[in-house]
Amino acid sequence: MRIAIVDDMTAEQEHLKSRLDIQLARLSLEAGIFVFTSGADFLSAAKKERFDLVFLDIYMGNENGVDTAQALRRLDKDCLLVFITASTDHALDGFRVRAFHYLVKPYTDADLTLLFDEIVKRLPSQDRYIEVNTAGGTVRLRFQEILYAEHYQHQIHVYRTDGQAVVTRQTFREFGSRLTDKRFFLCSRGVLVNLEHAEDFDGTDFILKNGKRVPVSRDLAKSARLAFGDYLFGRRA
């Protein structure tokens, strides 16, 4: 994920960036944060590579952030746009450029927590991850690269899209509780599958796109079919 901060005040930039780092760590999100002191510099960068989320100050010297937002929308209709402002006087302008939110100064960590809880629902799913401890050290597992996981011999074996397996020692309940995403389905007491990589469900097994079959306990078969259908419907919506 790429995040832009557009603000001509260095102190404001640093304050927001430090607070964003806290939110990203809280939600286990990978992101690069890029800082711009003018709307012109930001738009120049946005023409080369898109941003997923932009925090845009409305008042920047001789520039008006609303003008920058209008120019951004001509480049990118889907980027999440958050205005930073001392008031909501530009609410109508914000509506016209499809602003996601207003961050009104002085904002608090609680304000950012509420904001990011909403933002995370709309961000690209590949940016979520968890970190697990292994014999070789800490490993970061992106949600997208997890095929399935199973628990045996007091360890969890996490199978990845690259064909490798990561082994970590923790309870399966603890491991599963960290995968807070609708793409993961608990197939039995010790098996969890990533529906993102499922090709089909035949009533007893999930068939993954690589041909691997992940069994589902009989009492969860109906729930598995419903969860898979809901996931596919949500992905195509």
Bigger pLDDT: 61 vs 117? 117
What confidence score (pLDDT) does residue 102 get? 83
CA distance 102 to 236: 30
Is 151 a residue whose pLDDT tops 50?
A: yes
Average pLDDT over residues 70-83: 86
Bigger pLDDT: 194 vs 50? 194
28-37, 86-95, 97-106, 130-139: range with lowest mean pLDDT:
86-95
Strand order of the sheet with strand 2-6?
32-36, 2-6, 53-57, 80-85, 101-104
Give domain 2-125's CATH architecture: 3-Layer(aba) Sandwich (3.40)
Domain positions in the chain are 2-125, 141-236
The predicted-structure confidence for 3-27, as pLDDT tens digits, reads as follows 999 998 999 999 999 999 999 988 8
Bigger pLDDT: 234 vs 149? 149
| Domain topology for 141-236 | OB fold (Dihydrolipoamide Acetyltransferase, E2P) (2.40.50)
- Amino acid identity at 52: D
Residues above pLDDT 70, as percent of the chain: 92
Asked whether the domain spanning 141-236 has the same topology as the one spanning 2-125, the reply is no
